Structure 1
């Protein structure tokens, strides 16, 4: 579409709600106002619908290249736009790991040909690729990813000298997975001695414990303060960790920021009884008190953004015994509906959802001309019906793995239209496969 006119939408943007029309032309928002009557290729009557900036997910694993039996950029970006996510940042622990500039650019080529959503890919750090990390283009790559905990893949960075080099020399944002590997292995050995191979997923939050998370997160914060690193800690899973971050500094001036994920805001250790390995993530879903503490930190500004850590595996892999079952699960299609459900429960406002899932991600990563509903910005938008109940089922799941931890969940709100870079990518249950996604760029000079 070269032009779209959205009429009478309730716009949720920059801590305000108001009814207006939006005129989109050649990918950008050209005009916001009342009674816009310009000719357009597509007219959308949005009366009764809420218009939010498209969500920007700063942490996904779309599994391509190398693990495409689980997912790929095409399938998962389709699921993302159906869920109102218009941009994503994908992690480097694919096969091969994105540890060189050449391998990183190969992923960008896949995105250019196959992504329905806007995209960026993290450069991976290992114990021995600091020279490659330093070659990363700060205006065309979202950040450098450091696994301070092995998680999925073979990218554990555990050499203190390497960590000092990355934190002192990285020219751009460093995003970290923080779990102390020595603590995890000690806990695992303890339970193996007690139970042998009969460990169940209920012990996952005791093995990948709150202590393991805090030890690693606090070390990352200490390193960042020492070197004035632009640090972003991913998927905070404990209430205690939230106190490592400031909430009395404007976001644009913060050097240390943090992310909360949907699963840590929704599930607790009580859900292992019914969900089992389907909610086995690293870091682990922990106590209900951690869940409530994380939400409080999201609302009061200690935690800056909400993301998914979308990390699909096949249902056959998830059905393996605990010690063999991989960690991670699919979330991009259901993240915004889940947050809207928390809104219906009075736990978060629409304005805060727009802030944490769009505005703040754009500010944190210094994304150019996205994340807000503003004239002159890219038209990345999602129209939702707050009162259109539906249930997650196998029939409407779009992930390649064809399962969801939300299967059987009733949501009250539904995504109706998603616009990506000015193109209608999803409309009333139909994916429009014209691959409108663009590479994200960053204003870091």
Structure 2
């Protein structure tokens, strides 16, 4: 059995940081202690001065396979994720074809088994007419059900309220929802098109996909979840107003309604459209400084439970179209953890809180088995980070297939140096292993 001993690390787990050695045997963490004797272990990593974190679990990515692979694919984007300390991803159903049947779901699992650099699972897409397929899902076969309650990339809008209520009433799986009110958005878009045609200045994006559109949709979904008892997870909350719908007075494991915030909504504001343009065009839109500050407050006081990326690459050619033709979304998996570690350097968040929101909570929320924590008996999905190693995001170190990042020219103060996936050292100091040891997620539901 392969053994790796990580010596002298500062381990961050369960809101604590402590000095320890960590022994990996095969795929698992078998011992966490001070001064573990090396004995006959040949593979020893001195982590002195570095921080050992659980591998990040990203609960919302779009890796574009099948059907949209000119933008990215499971191999390219999971490789970038591993370089950024993400060891597990949950991918979304708006591919081509869409993941709206069990057959299509298993096809994606087969692709990932052959090509992924990280552990994987997939969301099953709900539509206006596939309720019977949702009812057939094995609760341990995939991460959950995804509903687009506002249209976005992939045209998977679910707008039949009778169907939505039936879905909420028919599954015990986590229902993850994109919440934007379609009617509000269409009316706003027509207003600006009447003035500017297709060439609407991108600064109006947060007024088209407005606070009102987000709140109308998320409040309706939350009301329905309370009525039906459904397990609802609201993806990419983008407004301060929405944060007041979520509670922080009960443990995460007991919450029926949870929330996620994405990196871009924590970092950018509407003032950044002038410089970044459509590169920061997302759905939901990046909004005001007050919204950004409200999201940070809700994250820190535990009304918001998870930090994710909504990684959604497009080519620069596509992004450089006029407003109405430029797709929403951008690549983030390689830079999400460095961005949050930068927030730590800036005094916005503690390291333990980063680990809680990016590692522990996704594992707890989706009932992922033996991941998300640094514990004996858990899979050795681990990340070593050097918190005193500045680097600049630039074209020559971006790994996304699309070749760009909204963080270009950003200086980060922390660098991911090692990433372990199931005990296998998959990434080290800019180099990837020629071998892979990845797994389909299992769930304890």
TM-score range, shorter chain: over 0.9
Shift of 1:41: 4.7
| Counterparts of residues 23-62 of structure 1 (less than 5 Å) | 23-38=23-38, 39-62=40-63
Residue equivalent to 1:365:
366
Counterparts of 2:6 and 2:141, CA distance in 1: 31
Contact 1:425 1:434 survives alignment (8 Å):
yes
Residue equivalent to 1:251:
252
Superposed CA offset, 1:21-45 (max 9, x none): 0000110001000111243352111
Q: Does residue 223 of structure 2 align to residue 222 of structure 1?
A: yes
Shift of 1:437: 1.6
Secondary structure in structure 1 of the residue aligned to 2:244: helix
Counterparts of 1:231 and 1:369, CA distance in 2: 23
Superposed CA offset, 1:351-395 (max 9, x none): 000000000111111110000000000001100000100000000
Q: Does residue 107 of structure 2 align to residue 106 of structure 1?
A: yes
Residue equivalent to 1:260:
261
Secondary structure in structure 2 of the residue aligned to 1:122: strand
Contact 1:114 1:435 survives alignment (8 Å):
no
Counterparts of 1:204 and 1:194, CA distance in 2: 14
Counterparts of 1:433 and 1:168, CA distance in 2: 46
Counterparts of 1:187 and 1:332, CA distance in 2: 31
Residue equivalent to 1:289:
290
* RMSD, aligned CA: 0.8
Counterparts of 1:121 and 1:64, CA distance in 2: 12
Residue equivalent to 1:22:
22
Contact 1:104 1:121 survives alignment (8 Å):
yes
Q: Does residue 193 of structure 2 align to residue 162 of structure 1?
A: no
Counterparts of 1:392 and 1:354, CA distance in 2: 23
Counterparts of 2:2 and 2:167, CA distance in 1: 44
Counterparts of 1:27 and 1:2, CA distance in 2: 9
Contact 1:116 1:434 survives alignment (8 Å):
no
Contact 1:174 1:232 survives alignment (8 Å):
yes
Superposed CA offset, 1:249-299 (max 9, x none): 110000000000000000000000000000000000000110010011000
Q: Does residue 341 of structure 2 align to residue 336 of structure 1?
A: no
Counterparts of 2:213 and 2:442, CA distance in 1: 35
| Counterparts of residues 49-128 of structure 1 (less than 5 Å) | 49-128=50-129
Residue equivalent to 1:395:
396
Secondary structure in structure 2 of the residue aligned to 1:9: strand
Residue equivalent to 1:10:
10
Counterparts of 1:23 and 1:383, CA distance in 2: 14
Shift of 1:316: 0.6
In structure 2, relative to structure 1, the CA distance for the partners of 1:219 and 1:18 (3 Å cut) is same
Shift of 1:197: 2.4
Counterparts of 2:358 and 2:225, CA distance in 1: 24
Shift of 1:140: 2.4
When the two structures are superposed, what TM-score results if normalisation uses the length of structure 1?
A: 0.99
Superposed CA offset, 1:178-202 (max 9, x none): 0000000000011111222231111
Contact 1:259 1:306 survives alignment (8 Å):
yes
Secondary structure in structure 2 of the residue aligned to 1:175: strand
Residue equivalent to 2:432:
431
Counterparts of 1:397 and 1:232, CA distance in 2: 31
| Counterparts of residues 142-291 of structure 1 (less than 5 Å) | 142-291=143-292
Secondary structure in structure 1 of the residue aligned to 2:404: coil
Contact 1:2 1:41 survives alignment (8 Å):
no
Counterparts of 1:415 and 1:247, CA distance in 2: 31
In structure 2, relative to structure 1, the CA distance for the partners of 1:41 and 1:220 (3 Å cut) is farther
Counterparts of 2:118 and 2:233, CA distance in 1: 23
Counterparts of 1:102 and 1:140, CA distance in 2: 12
Secondary structure in structure 2 of the residue aligned to 1:87: strand
Residue equivalent to 1:374:
375
Superposed CA offset, 1:391-422 (max 9, x none): 00000000000100001000000001000111
Superposed CA offset, 1:184-237 (max 9, x none): 000001111122223111110000001000000000100100011010000000
Secondary structure in structure 1 of the residue aligned to 2:380: coil
Query: Unaligned stretches of 5+ in structure 1?
Result: none
Contact 1:113 1:435 survives alignment (8 Å):
no
Residue equivalent to 1:138:
139
Q: How many residues align?
A: 444
Contact 1:257 1:304 survives alignment (8 Å):
yes
